Chain A
């Protein structure tokens, strides 16, 4: 049903090239999203933020193993694969954050005793990875037609030693500053 959907940032942006400076603390990198690009999953999305790219696929509502079944709502699973190597402890921590965020938003009560699986593959990482994963997961859930009570989005903010806030930092800016990734929905903080 959906073709390619390009969402350009309405704020002042600089396109991908890291050498061009951004207006201090105000703008995000160029971001884009494409839905329905994989044929097997029920829903899929690719989210791009500058040079960071994450591919998400959603399977569900589907059959669930009896051991994981919840009698009154859907069981949500998130699998995050890094670009290189095997998933480690950091991936597990991020999977939990993404899973709890999706659980707060997905109307699991409409599909009891089923499973909804979100699979995320990191294609390239140039900073703001967690926010990109969250956005890709949200767009993939929408593409799969999973009922949700709201949409959520993620933004990574970096505070450097002087206290200036940089939104959507690149990998270099993240290293110098202290990072925080926020997930917002209707002005309430869902995760960080």
Chain B
């Protein structure tokens, strides 16, 4: 541990003037400025079902990073090339509220990349079987609009978004829908609701690469900015890899990749345990 009496006077100046050098001094001691180890996550908290107007919702806090996911279910005609499937439409929004680097207007690159990542996770992990969302083949199906909004951006947005999406999907209750044969109209029975069939539980673990060699888990906003590369590993419960997101940046050897995947497996267990506890503690509606 660093001696605070020695470092305190130089701390603030160095952090602003030479942030990379400041970070390197901590990394040499195998820790980070906020006191975490290189492989340690920030405190994760989740609040499920907080938005009553949404069909399913979840709020996730990963340290300071706060992300809320709201899911609304609506009717739509199924796609013509897949008449027995419904839709899951994710959208990640990074409003100017969460960080000064985002401006109002059309979604910036970061938001679009995050939306594409969430869409890939949903597709690759088969979290929901799209056939489950079909009410009447060729005529009517559910479309789940998953809106993920960041309220506070302090790095590691992808992990928080994936967790929020998963928790919100577990919270979604869809009413029973029958098609009246005489009128051919859909009749919704709001009194009879059922949960979605969540088949897998993908959990994302993000890493930042420093100076082409050092890997740190769960980077904060500052660390992401200084990193030379990022990596996000999405695992499901059988230790199977769902998705690997590495948008360029410095290279990684096969061995390092394996380390990341083992860390992701441990993280999956922690997250699943937390989510199961929260769901169990919720009062049944």
Contact = CB atoms under 8 A, between A and B. Distances in A.
A98 interface: yes
Given A104-B228, A104-B229, A192-B244, A96 B251 contact: no
Given A93-B117, A178-B124, A189-B257, A100 B112 contact: no
B279 to A, nearest CB: 29
Contacts of B228: 104
B246 interface: yes
A117 B278 CA distance: 48
A180 B245 CA distance: 10
A84 interface: no
Contact of B253 (A90, A98, A104, A187): A187
A89 B112 contact: yes
Given A92-B109, A178-B124, A191 B249 contact: yes
Contact of B116 (A93, A104, A178, A187): A93
Most chain A CB within a 10 A radius of its CB, from B113, B117, B124: B113
B248 A190 contact: yes
Interface string B235-253: 0000000001111111111
A97 B247 CA distance: 4
Nearest to B253: A188
B74 to A, nearest CB: 21
A183 B124 contact: no
Interface string A79-104: 00000000001101101111111111
Contact of B251 (A89, A97, A189): A189
Size bracket of the B interface:
20 to 34
B244 A102 contact: no
B284 interface: no
A20 interface: no
Contacts of B254: 189
Interface in B77-112: 109, 112
A180 B244 contact: yes
B133 to A, nearest CB: 21
Interface string A158-191: 0000000000000000000010100101111111
Contacts of B247: 93, 96-97, 100, 191
B115 interface: yes
A189 B229 CA distance: 11
Contacts of B116: 89-90, 92-93
Given A96-B248, A98-B248, A185-B251, 8 more contacts: A93-B247, A99-B248, A100-B229, A103-B249, A104-B249, A104-B250, A189-B257, A192-B246
- Which 10 A-B residue pairings sit nearest by Cβ, starting from the closest? A100-B248, A188-B251, A101-B248, A93-B116, A92-B112, A191-B248, A97-B247, A89-B112, A192-B246, A93-B113
